[in-house]
A and B are shown apart, each in its own frame.
Chain A
């Protein structure tokens, strides 16, 4: 990293208007969600005028039994899918990054990243067709399976990135000091990777919690998740209740992503 440069050197790198575009970019990214968040506290149903601060839409959303059950479904699926995906991804990252490169490694990586490369709508209809073809009835379990598969690369990438950063010397040092394969993993590698694993878990959790397209196709009747419930409400008409739930989901995502980011930073500085 270059340290302090003189201001004339720096100004040579500047382009007029780039700062304005960057600020506009942030503005563009945040204004819509901020507007939604602000209106979720509007006391009156109108979306054009401000009727004072109120939490009544939140209260209304919380007391809606459909939203309650959808929230519960979403949480159960997100926790389960993220847990399975993280375990599987951690094992895969171990296999991929510890030890020498092997023939077909690129192929294995390609398979793991397939869920990221294929358009989500294709994943969604393919899962639907497959579940029905093998005689599954649609329901929470089909959502869980589809989410788990879709979450694997999201958990894998941060974990593998961290694991690549752990030199094999740590592994060797543990073995040199009389730890067998399992104890070297348990006492040295795993603690060193914990931040990345938490980070991967949280990302997988968010991806599952937020997914709409795949869920909407593989969900059976009655197995509604939160995004599906919101979509259903929008079909009926725009209500401030939607703003309230959206704001809450928004908050959950931001908290999780920030936490995931902070944890992985801690892991790296260690």
Chain B
């Protein structure tokens, strides 16, 4: 079960959750307490760096989200929940009354929708691909996996620019179609929701393929033969035998696509042409242009909450899955 192929390159992988199993009951060489101090000293730098420069900063924006925005960015130390209220309501400049405003909610809704569509598209392409790779002879699997993984490591900005390059009005697709007389005017592909979706799929497709592959790799294909033996058809077997077993991989893959898509910044920024905002752009904007730090912080906290909720449900699923299927 040692990982083969490029799976090691995947940053968040289903195998993370199995690591517990590999750590057998190990015994210390000396008295436990002394040994523990040694070990604490070993992982303290990593914990310290991440704790001080990431966990505390997140605490800082959590606090900022309850403060009043400063005029030129920054915050004024005064408690208020306005930043959160602003999501649903708009305060009238003169009367100070709050009226419902769905604009921000809309951005969140659109982001979730956009991410969900990208996830489904990745699943539709990713599952057959993973399955196809898993049924290759072992020596070929490595090459396939490697080919699927490589693009992930190419600069996200450049990959997104490449998609823009391809989809532009004067880009190769449009000029190809015009040269052949299929269309007369360029089709508007860039700066649309479609372009963003395409960009997201293109960005995160490897994240879908690898975890599904990882669970398929451990799948006992003789179970399929048992299914055929019991008179099940091809697609029935896929639904009733294969899918339940690889469900943890599918869930992991979906999450790995959905989470970064939800908070994506580059794809909507470049492929959406700055018009089709997503959560990521909304947050960045508050810290760059409009300079409403508390509102940006609140937007970030809401995004973070959504992500943690998704991870939490995933973890619950995963535990259930471990009990019912195999490790």
Tell me if chains A and B make direct contact, with any CB pair below 8 A: yes
Within 8 A of A (CB), among B105-156: 124-126, 128-129, 131-133, 135, 138, 144, 146-151, 153-156
* Partner pick for A118 among B9, B16, B42, B58, CB 8 A cutoff: B58
Within 8 A of A (CB), among B1-60: 2-3, 6, 8-9, 11-13, 15-16, 19-20, 22-23, 25-29, 32, 35-36, 38-43, 45-47, 49-51, 53-58, 60
B60 touches A12 (CB 8 A): no
Chain B residues with CB below 8 A from A123, complex form: 54
A88 touches B151 (CB 8 A): no
Instruction: Tell me whether A201 is interfacial, beta carbon within 8 Å.
Output: no
Instruction: Tell me whether A236 is interfacial, beta carbon within 8 Å.
Output: no
Chain A residues with CB below 8 A from B35, complex form: 99
Q: Which of A51-59, A61-69, A147-155, A186-194 contacts B (4 or more CB under 8 A)?
A: A147-155
Contact with B along A120-162 (1 / 0, CB 8 A): 1111111111101100000000000110110011101110110
CA gap between A160 and B2 in the complex, in Å: 13
A175 touches B138 (CB 8 A): no
CA gap between A226 and B30 in the complex, in Å: 50
CA gap between A31 and B209 in the complex, in Å: 18
A32 touches B265 (CB 8 A): no
Answer whether A99 and B28 are a contact pair too, CB < 8 Å, given A119-B262, A126-B58: yes
Instruction: Tell me whether B205 is interfacial, beta carbon within 8 Å.
Output: yes
B50 touches A149 (CB 8 A): yes
B155 touches A164 (CB 8 A): no
B6 touches A261 (CB 8 A): yes
B47 touches A112 (CB 8 A): yes
Instruction: Tell me whether B64 is interfacial, beta carbon within 8 Å.
Output: yes
Instruction: Tell me whether B165 is interfacial, beta carbon within 8 Å.
Output: yes
B74 touches A100 (CB 8 A): no
* Partner pick for A1 among B128, B138, B148, B149, CB 8 A cutoff: B138
A261 touches B146 (CB 8 A): yes
Answer whether A127 and B159 are a contact pair too, CB < 8 Å, given A99-B39, A254-B154: no
Q: Contact size class for A?
A: 35 or more
Chain A residues with CB below 8 A from B201, complex form: 28
Answer whether A246 and B162 are a contact pair too, CB < 8 Å, given A149-B49, A161-B8: yes
Chain A residues with CB below 8 A from B147, complex form: 26, 29
Chain B residues with CB below 8 A from A43, complex form: none
Main SS of the interface on chain A? helix
A91 touches B42 (CB 8 A): yes
CA gap between A63 and B29 in the complex, in Å: 59
Within 8 A of A (CB), among B57-83: 57-58, 60-61, 64, 74
A92 touches B43 (CB 8 A): yes
Answer whether A111 and B47 are a contact pair too, CB < 8 Å, given A21-B128, A164-B22: yes
Chain B residues with CB below 8 A from A31, complex form: 166
User: What is the distance, in angstroms, from A242's C-beta to the closest C-beta of chain B?
Assistant: 7
User: What is the distance, in angstroms, from A239's C-beta to the closest C-beta of chain B?
Assistant: 11
Most buried by A among B12, B40, B46: B46
| 13 A-B contacts (beta carbon < 8 Å) | A10-B135, A95-B41, A115-B50, A116-B12, A119-B303, A129-B64, A149-B49, A161-B8, A164-B22, A212-B157, A213-B280, A238-B168, A250-B155
Instruction: Please list the residues of chain A having a beta carbon within 8 angstroms of any beta carbon in chain B.
Output: 1-2, 9-10, 12-15, 17-19, 21-22, 24-26, 28-33, 35-36, 39, 47-48, 87-89, 91-92, 94-102, 106, 108-109, 111-130, 132-133, 145-146, 148-149, 152-154, 156-158, 160-161, 164-165, 168, 172, 175, 199, 203, 206, 209-210, 212-213, 217, 227, 230-231, 234, 238, 242-243, 246, 249-250, 253-254, 256-258, 260-261, 264, 268
